[in-house]
């Protein structure tokens, strides 16, 4: 049976009912997760510690969740998803009640803040990775390395059982108070990077050169790069977002005649044979076998020549 830790009997905390490993196996066929909410409107259907203790006694196979947010006394839970980030930041945070997650064995740190945090804050990694979505469209993904849970989100509480793995209390201290500005400062390096990426708009996807005499900006996409370098691209296949063919440098192999693709909007290319992929500037570097600074200088020359025509 799941038991509430003694620190959970804080009158400021509110709890919700979560599925269990066995009891709801038949009733919740669509819910494979043993920590999924039983009541859909759990923000309004929540309970105090004594009510939750009684319910857990009657339903020994169930779990419980702790709900966060401004409506629940400004409770936040810092949920680490990366051991590297946890090792870097954990010592900077005040000592508080901490539970380790059942899967990755990473920390959930509980705090009451001085001001309400109106929405959950996902903390993204600084380095992105290239991935392809279901439509075959490449995207740069930034993995979530932590979550600052708030605004009605919940976390599984201490002693909960997730498919035989237990959420263990690793620091049985009272839930500490913390300044919301301090929390933002601790994570500012990562949250500011997200803001910069969001404000970057097209600059990260398109190669551009700004003229000195006026503010006009000329963008070169991958199709322009092919045209200006006079490399031929034999198109063999087209889907919703990409045009495929043979790489102008690597050629084709007998097993794969479509090893090179360019997005229709010209923002991205991918050469599967060499493993080179990226923006139009990267394509120019690949075609001409030059470094980044040489590629930028060449684009500047094209821009000057075009303005003189």
pLDDT at residue number 33: 62
Query: Who wins on pLDDT, 13 or 44?
Result: 13
Q: What is the pLDDT of residues 195-222, one digit of tens each?
A: 777 665 444 444 444 444 433 345 678 8
Last residue of a domain, one of 138, 170, 199: 199
Same domain, 165 and 225: no
Which residues span the domain enclosing 277? Answer: 207-308
With respect to residue 175, please indicate whether it lies within any of the assigned structural domains.
Answer: yes
What span, in angstroms and rounded, lies between the C-alpha atoms of 159 and 66? 12
Q: What is the pTM of this model?
A: 0.62
Same domain, 181 and 213: no
With respect to residue 255, please indicate whether it lies within any of the assigned structural domains.
Answer: yes
Question: What residues does 15 pair with on adjacent strands?
Answer: 47, 66
* Overall average pLDDT of the 2-20 stretch: 92
Last residue of a domain, one of 165, 182, 199: 199
Same domain, 190 and 278: no
pLDDT at residue number 17: 92
Same domain, 125 and 222: no
Mean confidence (pLDDT) of the chain: 82
Q: How far apart are the first and last CA of the chain?
A: 80
What span, in angstroms and rounded, lies between the C-alpha atoms of 268 and 281? 10
Beta carbons of 306 and 218 less than 8 angstroms apart: yes
Q: What is the pLDDT of residues 24-58, one digit of tens each?
A: 444 444 444 678 888 878 888 899 999 999 999 98
Same domain, 31 and 119: yes
Q: Is 122 exposed, middle or buried (0-12, 13-18, 19+ CB in 10 A)?
A: middle
Query: Who wins on pLDDT, 29 or 271?
Result: 271
pLDDT at residue number 203: 45
With respect to residue 180, please indicate whether it lies within any of the assigned structural domains.
Answer: yes
Q: What is the pLDDT of residues 51-97, one digit of tens each?
A: 999 999 988 888 999 999 988 999 999 999 999 999 999 999 999 99
Axis-axis angle for helices 292-308, 280-288 (nearest 10) = 100
Which of 17, 11, 287, 260 is closest to 157 using CA atoms? Answer: 17
Which region among 105-109, 192-196, 228-232, 283-287 has the lowest average model confidence (pLDDT)?
Answer: 192-196
Same domain, 91 and 188: yes
pLDDT at residue number 78: 96
Which region among 197-206, 237-246, 261-270 has the lowest average model confidence (pLDDT)?
Answer: 197-206
What span, in angstroms and rounded, lies between the C-alpha atoms of 18 and 40? 10
Tally of structural domains, the chain:
2
pLDDT higher than threshold 70 for residue 127: yes
Same domain, 193 and 211: no
Same domain, 186 and 244: no
Same domain, 35 and 175: yes
Radius of gyration of the chain (CA): 27
With respect to residue 246, please indicate whether it lies within any of the assigned structural domains.
Answer: yes
What span, in angstroms and rounded, lies between the C-alpha atoms of 4 and 276? 53
Same domain, 249 and 133: no
pLDDT at residue number 307: 53
With respect to residue 144, please indicate whether it lies within any of the assigned structural domains.
Answer: yes
Same domain, 259 and 289: yes
With respect to residue 86, please indicate whether it lies within any of the assigned structural domains.
Answer: yes
With respect to residue 1, please indicate whether it lies within any of the assigned structural domains.
Answer: no
pLDDT higher than threshold 90 for residue 264: no
Which of 237, 17, 191 is closest to 89 using CA atoms? Answer: 191
Last residue of a domain, one of 153, 169, 199: 199
With respect to residue 139, please indicate whether it lies within any of the assigned structural domains.
Answer: yes
Same domain, 82 and 147: yes
């Amino acid at each position: 049976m799941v038991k509430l830790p003694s620190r959970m009997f804080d009158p400021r905390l509110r709890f919700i009912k979560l599925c269990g490993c066995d009891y709801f196996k038949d009733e919740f066929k669509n819910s494979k997760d043993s920590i999924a909410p039983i009541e859909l409107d759990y923000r309004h259907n929540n309970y105090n510690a004594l009510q939750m203790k009684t319910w857990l006694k009657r339903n020994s196979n169930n779990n419980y969740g702790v709900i966060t947010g401004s409506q629940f006394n400004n409770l936040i839970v810092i949920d680490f998803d990366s051991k590297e980030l946890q090792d870097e930041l954990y010592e900077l945070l005040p000592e508080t009640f901490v539970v380790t997650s059942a899967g990755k064995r990473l920390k959930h740190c509980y705090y009451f803040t001085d001001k309400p945090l109106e929405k959950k804050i996902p903390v993204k990694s600084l380095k992105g990775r290239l991935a392809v979505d279901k439509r075959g469209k490449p995207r740069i993904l930034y993995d979530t390395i932590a979550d600052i849970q708030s605004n009605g989100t919940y976390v599984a509480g201490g002693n909960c059982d997730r498919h035989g793995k237990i959420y263990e209390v690793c620091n049985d201290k009272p839930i500490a108070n913390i300044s919301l500005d301090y929390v933002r400062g601790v994570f500012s390096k990562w949250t500011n990077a997200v803001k910069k990426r969001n404000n970057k708009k097209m600059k990260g996807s398109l190669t551009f050169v700004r003229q000195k005499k006026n503010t006009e900006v000329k963008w070169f996409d991958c199709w322009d790069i092919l045209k200006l370098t006079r490399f031929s691209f034999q198109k063999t296949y087209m889907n919703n977002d990409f045009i495929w063919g043979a790489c102008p440098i690597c050629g084709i192999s007998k097993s794969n005649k479509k090893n090179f693709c360019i997005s229709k909007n010209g923002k991205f290319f991918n050469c599967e044979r060499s493993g080179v992929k990226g923006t139009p500037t990267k394509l120019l570097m690949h075609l001409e076998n030059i470094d980044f600074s040489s590629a930028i200088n060449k684009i500047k020359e094209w821009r000057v020549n075009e303005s003189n025509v």
